[in-house]
Amino acid sequence: MTERVPILRIGDILLVSIQVDLEDETVMNLQEDLAEQIVARSARGVVIDITAVEIVDSFVGRMLATIASISRLLDAETVVVGMRPAVAITLVELGLSLGGVRTALDLEKGLALLQRSVRRTDLR
């Protein structure tokens, strides 16, 4: 059985902490689970914590961009946090800019970024 990545709720923000190696099936399940949770919980933001991810390939990079696109279509903003320098270098070397994906150094900064963004949206 494929491992599933847990999705936690913090107010109107969903937290995805990736602690396992991302196999293709795990990623596909995460995309489906996250889309369902965004709708079910009326989430306004998603934080993807990749602190435990040591190695990325083009598939993982595209997955992060795809999850951000899905979230945006469902009216939730995505922030990726905890990216290691080696991961950032690898993504750049692979030519993956992760367009549209906001990043923050750690979970605290990522949550603050999303909360500010959600407040600005609410004021409009």
pLDDT in tens, 94-108: 888 777 789 999 999
Under a CB-based contact definition with an 8 Å cutoff, are residues 54 and 84 in contact?
yes
Distance (Å, whole) CA 123 – CA 32: 30
Spell out the residues 6+ positions from residue 20 whose beta carbon is closer than 8 angstroms to its own.
3, 5, 26
Can you give the length of the chain in residues? 124
Instruction: Mark the ranges of the chain whose per-residue pLDDT is less than 70.
Output: 1-2, 121-124
| CA angle 79–91–33, rounded 5-degree value | 45
